Chain A
Amino acid sequence: MSEVRIALVVDDSRVNRLVLTRQLRALGLEVLEAENGIEALDLVRAHASAIDVVLLDVIMPELDGYDTLATLKADDATRHIPVIIVSGVEELDSVVRCIELGATDYLTKPINARVLEARLNASLAAKRLRDLELEHIEQQRRLTETIDRQKTELSRFLSPQISALISSPEGEQLLAGHRRMITVAFCDLRGFTSFAEQADPEEMLGVLGEYHRMIGESIVRHGGTLEHFAGDGVMVFFNDPIVQEDHVERAVRMAVEMRSRFEDLGAGWRKRGYELGFGIGIAVGYATLGRIGFEGRHDYGAIGNVVILASRLSSQAAANQILLSQRAAGMVEEIVDVESVGELQIKGLSRPVSASNVLVLR
């Protein structure tokens, strides 16, 4: 906003225009002049955002003060410009009518320089406030735009649940840490490490890309929260931050879908000479969830035995196996056929755990 204020003087009397213009310039304003309402409206339309105040005579040829005022107040682009009516002392009735039409104030001729200054300052202050308000609205709009852009950008890096969580009212509380029962699914590729050693980096990234795209689609379809990617290893959990009554079932359905889609993917790779298998481990239990990491780099993560168990089951799974912990298997026995794989010795756990492989969805 410029510091120089611009006034538009509208009066058909050249003498009166000269006097008012001179007085306004003495107060530091720049002045535009119009002889009648039509000229005034043309000037306002050409400089609407620049004109800070209009000083308007009432009786004029072509277009009088009333019609000029009414036109200014009917247009969104000019409504906010303060209009001060300049009239003879004996015309107070017309002043009242103008105030009703939206005029800000009035001055009587002959114009006293000090009264002019006072009325002008009041109108300009109101205009300045209005301009600041508009500026504020514009800033607010730009801020919202930036936030929306950041959200979109962020959602490319985070799972959709997490980016939604960050902007939600209860986000801060959930991020701060809470305990909840969740289902954790780990999946990774058998033979990936030796493949990565032999393959060209371009080949390897190509294979990883196809694999991530496939599992990414399944994770989204079943509403899983992606915790992290680490090469071929992927950790997904369910029932947090969005509560899902059927979290175990969702994890199992996702795993079965992934396994079936992997058959095509693996077959394609085999033709190109890559021997890669796919295994999944699923466990249910309580975990602590929230912001994990350090200033500058945080993840939304889960910590607890359930995470370790799912990870270990995944490492123990042979190609094409979906290993469920005993508790997880018990919670989905209605929907899947499983076979026991006996008791597994899990690193870090004192007692062996029994696990089952998912055969088919019923």
Chain B
Amino acid sequence: MEQCTRRDKPMNELETPVLDAAVLEELAKSVGGDREFVVDLIGTYLDDTEGQIAAIEAAVAADDPAALVRPAHTLKSSSATLGAKRLAERARALEIAGRSERIDDGARVDAEQLAQDWREAKTALQEWMARSDTS
């Protein structure tokens, strides 16, 4: 299991890019260059993520670390798959907080930043899709 180190500070978003387009290119390559598949996949991700964000926010609001773990984990995992690195990193920080069985101040800041990260990731992915369509 990953280290359940207590963090008192939120993650530093400046260190992590919103979207690493190379991950998407690698993903397209891994499915035989099928960009349409990747575009569909992003669509699925955008549909599913709303629910996960809501579940995370609800868990933090209810101060329920156990309820935080799974949606944060799933969000981390699918965001990483699509190169939404900053959102993935935020979700990872929240997952760790959930596992530490205490939602501390750092985790609360992360939760507050989550909506912002999500909006940025969504915009970046939509831009990537638009670029893919025209290319």
Contacts and interface: CB of A to CB of B under 8 A. Distances in A.
Contact of A110 (B23, B70, B74): B23
A15 B2 contact: no
Nearest to B71: A61
Given A59-B69, A91-B1, A110-B26, A16 B31 contact: no
A14 B27 contact: no
B48 A12 contact: no
A61 B78 CA distance: 15
B92 interface: yes
Interface in A39-83: 57, 59-61
B90 interface: no
Interface residues of A, number: 26
Interface string A20-39: 00110010000000000000
A305 interface: no
A132 B129 CA distance: 47
A12 B78 CA distance: 10
A322 to B, nearest CB: 91
B74 A13 contact: yes
A59 B1 CA distance: 10
Contact of A12 (B34, B41, B74): B74
Nearest to A25: B31
A19 B2 contact: no
**Residue from B26, B76, B77 whose CB has the most chain A CB atoms within 10 Å:** B77
Given A18-B44, A112-B26, 7 more contacts: A15-B44, A15-B81, A16-B81, A19-B41, A59-B77, A93-B1, A113-B30
Interface of B: 1-2, 23, 26-27, 29-32, 34, 37, 40-41, 44-45, 48, 69-70, 73-74, 76-78, 80-82, 92
Interface of A: 11-16, 18-19, 22-23, 26, 57, 59-61, 88, 90-91, 93-94, 97, 109-113
